[in-house]
Amino acid sequence: NAGVTQTPKFRILKIGQSMTLQCTQDMNHNYMYWYRQDPGMGLKLIYYSVGAGITDKGEVPNGYNVSRSTTEDFPLRLELAAPSQTSVYFCASSYSLGGELFFGEGSRLTVL
Amino acid sequence: AQKITQTQPGMFVQEKEAVTLDCTYDTSDPSYGLFWYKQPSSGEMIFLIYQGSYDQQNATEGRYSLNFQKARKSANLVISASQLGDSAMYFCAMRALDNAGNMLTFGGGTRLMVKP
C-alpha cells in the first residue's frame, strides 16, 4: 500500500527556473492538498482539490499552479522559482472533509 | 481565526514512562477536527490521532490517546510506555470542517526526547 507518493525528494533550482512536484495517491481519496513547511514552522496550505477537475487556492498560492486531471494525481508547478520558495513541500490526501490527512514523505526544494 | 498553542518547546521522558504533550486551541467554528502529527528527524509527517469536535469519547490509537477537554479548549496527546523511536517533533493541528479549503493550522510543535 503506497499511500501518498511524492517525487522528487530533493531538488535544487536556480532562480527563475520552473519545475513540477509530482504527487500521486492510491487510496481513492477525493481531497488532495499541497502544503509547504518552512524551517521551524508548521505547514501552510498552498492549493487544494476536492476532486478531479476542481482546484482552489489556499493560504499561500502565489508563485504556484496546480491541476487535477485524475483522482490519483495532483502535481504542483513552480513557475519562475524564487529563494522564498525554498521549503519542504508536502502533498496530502484525505477521504472526507473531516478525515485525517495522509502526507507524502515531503520534497525538499532549495532555490539558489 | 484559528490558533493552536503548544507551550512545551521540548520535553524529556524516560523510556517506558507515559508523557503528556499539551495543546490548546482557539476557534469560533462549531465544527472542527483536531490532529496530532509526528515528525521524526527524517522529515515526514506521520498522522497519529484525530478528534472531532462533536466526538463524545476521547480518541485512542494504540499507545496514543487524546485527552479532549472541549470546555477548556485543550487536546493533549498522551503517549503511554514511551519508546526510543518516539523521539521526534510533535505537532498539534486543527481545521474547521465547513470547507475543504480551510487551512490546517499547526502549533509550534514540541520536541520529545526519550531517554534510555
Q: What does the pLDDT look like over A6-60, one tens digit per residue? A: 999 999 999 999 999 999 999 999 999 999 988 877 788 899 998 999 999 988 9
Which chain B residue has its CA at the smallest distance from A97's CA?
Answer: B100
Mean pLDDT for the stretch of residues B38-56: 90
User: Which amino acid would we find at residue A24?
Assistant: T
Note whether B47 contacts A: Cβ–Cβ < 8 A: yes
**Confidence class for position A98, pLDDT limits 50, 70, 90:** low
In chain B, the percentage of residues whose pLDDT exceeds 90 is 71
CB B56 within 8 A of CB B66: no
Within 8 A by CB and 6+ apart from A90, the residues are: A6, A34, A35, A36, A37, A43, A103, A104, A106, A107, B45
**Confidence class for position B2, pLDDT limits 50, 70, 90:** confident
Whole-number pLDDT of residue A58: 87
Note whether B1 contacts A: Cβ–Cβ < 8 A: no
| Pick among A4, A89, A103, A107 to test the B interface (most B CBs inside 10 A) | A103
Q: Supply B96's cell numbers.
A: 474547521
* Chain A environment of B90 (Cβ under 8 Å): none
Contact B43 A108 (CB under 8 A): yes
For residue A36, the Cα-to-chain-centroid distance in whole angstroms is 7
The whole-angstrom separation of Cα A45 and Cα B103 is 6
Lowest-confidence segment of A94-98, B14-18, B62-66, B74-78 by average pLDDT? A94-98
**Confidence class for position B29, pLDDT limits 50, 70, 90:** confident
Q: How many Cβ atoms sit within 10 Å of the Cβ of residue B14?
A: 11
Question: Is pLDDT above 80 for A96?
Answer: no
Q: Supply B115's cell numbers.
A: 531517554
Q: What distances in angstroms separate CA B44 from CA A4, A104, B55, B101, B107, one per listed residue?
A: 11, 7, 28, 22, 17
* Chain A environment of B61 (Cβ under 8 Å): none
The whole-angstrom separation of Cα B25 and Cα B108 is 12
Give B50 to chain A, closest Cα distance, Å. Answer: 7
Note whether A39 contacts B: Cβ–Cβ < 8 A: no
Whole-number pLDDT of residue B101: 62
Give A104 to chain B, closest Cα distance, Å. Answer: 7
